[in-house]
Amino acid sequence: MLKKNEIKIGDTYSEKIVEDLKRTQIVQYAGASGDYNPLHSDDKFTKEIAGYPGVFAHGMLSMGMTGKMLTNFVGDGTLKKYGVRFTNQVWPGDSLESTATIIDIKEEDGETLAEIAIETKNQDGATVITGSATAKVG
Amino acid sequence: MSKIKMPVEKSHIMMFARSIGDANPKYYEEKDENVIAPPTFIQSSAQFDPEYFLRPKIGGDNWFGSGKEATGMKSSGSGSGGGGAAMGLHAEQHYEYHQPLNVGDVITAEVKPGKSWEKESKRAGKLKFSESVTEYRNQDGELIITATSVGVVTEKPVEN
């Protein structure tokens, strides 16, 4: 858990959340989450029917990997809110880095909360996720 | 609407944590009471939706992914084939956490349709957004997570 006297607005935390994303990891996510959309595992369908260059990651895989960075930063069981927008697709071979920035620290109903801005970028610097989170602070 | 009834199981949490590449030991604990779930784990409640459209059904013959042909969707002549389904993408996802999710909980989900809107985009043509709000409750009826999902149907594939 973040400590009130150890954080300030503007603090950031970054983590590499995946290096050279493998197709197999996308399949693993499909199996675990139950989302078997062929866009994520079926190259033939994705190219010939959907019109994309090939399979790509579930948005929720990117959100899940970004969540790993987030919980490593704020601690387990402290999240009150976590939300994202998917701004670009994530492809096999991508390497992603995710950053959390504290944008506000406030008191609400007797709790101290940190408001956090989130951004995940790929190896070309393109943003694939923007988001926000609220976490309890000790 | 949805008939989800999801037993929260530690082996499922383990598989989910592996798939997102998260080595946090709390996701792999031996004792049920020590296991916690990653913040996006509830998304896998899709496994327990009997009608989830992104899972091939046992005995079903119209899965839209490829087999011999690029799509298994039978063409109906009306023109909206498997591609139509494929154009749906996930635009946004938001979670609000009210109570922790515990191994042994049985979660039910109530889905409520939300707003819908349209937008023009240079990269994908006309975008049709639609929102749904899902309330996940435990066996005691307590609200555990509220999830807001925004889906988008694009006019054409997103240019990259």
DSSP per-residue codes, B48-81: G-TT-TTSPPTT-S---S-SSSS--PPP-SSS--
Residue B88 in any domain: the answer is: yes
Which tokens in the block code for residue B26? 């709390």
Residue A40 reports pLDDT greater than 60: yes
Mean pLDDT of A11-26: 98
Best CA proximity match to A121, nearest among A11, A6, A15, A1: A15
Tokens of B146: 């509220």
Residue of chain B whose Cα is closest to the Cα of A28: B19
Considering the domain boundaries, does residue A36 fall inside one?
no
Position A105 scores a pLDDT of 97
Q: What percent of chain B has pLDDT over 70?
A: 90
- Evaluate whether A99 touches A14 at the Cβ level (below 8 Å): yes
Asked whether residue A118 is assigned to any structural domain, the reply reads yes
- Summarize pLDDT for B43-85 with one digit per residue, the tens: 999 999 999 999 999 988 789 999 999 998 865 444 344 444 4
- The span from the CA of A62 to the CA of B135, in Å, is 23
Question: What is the mean predicted confidence (pLDDT) over A41-47?
Answer: 96
| Contact present, A87 and A129 (Cβ < 8 Å) | yes
CA–CA distance, B34 with B26 (Å, rounded to integer): 7
Q: Provide the CATH number for the domain around residue B10.
A: 3.10.129.10
Q: Measured between alpha carbons, how far is B114 from B89 in angstroms, rounded to an integer?
A: 17
Residue B12: list chain A partners with CB under 8 A: 32
- For chain A, say whether B148 makes contact (Cβ under 8 Å): yes
The boundaries of the domain holding residue B128 are: 5-57+81-154
**Residue A119 covered by a domain:** yes
Residue B94 lies in a domain: yes
B72, part of any domain: no
The interface residues of chain B toward chain A in range 106-125, judged by CB-CB distance below 8 A, are none
Q: Give this prediction's pTM.
A: 0.94
Structural domain contains residue B85: yes
Q: Is residue B68 a part of any domain in this protein?
A: no
- Domain encompassing residue A84: 4-21+57-137
Q: Residue A33 has which token pair?
A: 């989450």
Task: Round to whole Å and give the CA distance between B49 and B45.
Answer: 7
Where helices occur in chain A by DSSP H, the ranges are 23-33, 43-48, 59-74
What is the domain-level CATH number for residue A86? 3.10.129.10
- What one-letter code names the amino acid at B70? A
* Those residues with Cβ within 8 angstroms of residue A13's Cβ, 6 or more apart along the chain or in another chain: A69, A72, A73, A99, A100
Nearest to B6 by CA among B140, B109, B144, B132: B109
Beta strand segments in chain A, E: 12-18, 79-86, 96-108, 111-121, 127-137
Is residue A106 one of the residues assigned to a domain? yes
Is A27 a member of any domain?
A: no
How close is the nearest chain A Cα to the Cα of B57, in Å?
Answer: 11
Residue A86 inside a domain? The answer is: yes
> Cα(B131)–Cα(B142) distance, rounded to whole angstroms?
23
Give per-residue pLDDT as tens, A73-130. 999 999 999 999 999 999 999 999 999 999 999 999 999 999 999 999 999 999 999 9
A39 assigned to some structural domain: no
Q: For chain A, what is the domain count?
A: 1
The partner residue sitting opposite B24, judged by closest CB among A64, A71, A89, is A71
Number of domains in chain B: 1
Report the residue of A33, A52, A69, A95 to disrupt the B interface, i.e. the one with the largest count of B CBs within 10 Å: A33
Q: How confident is the model at residue B159 (pLDDT cuts 50, 70, 90)?
A: confident
Please report whether residue B121 resides in a domain.
yes
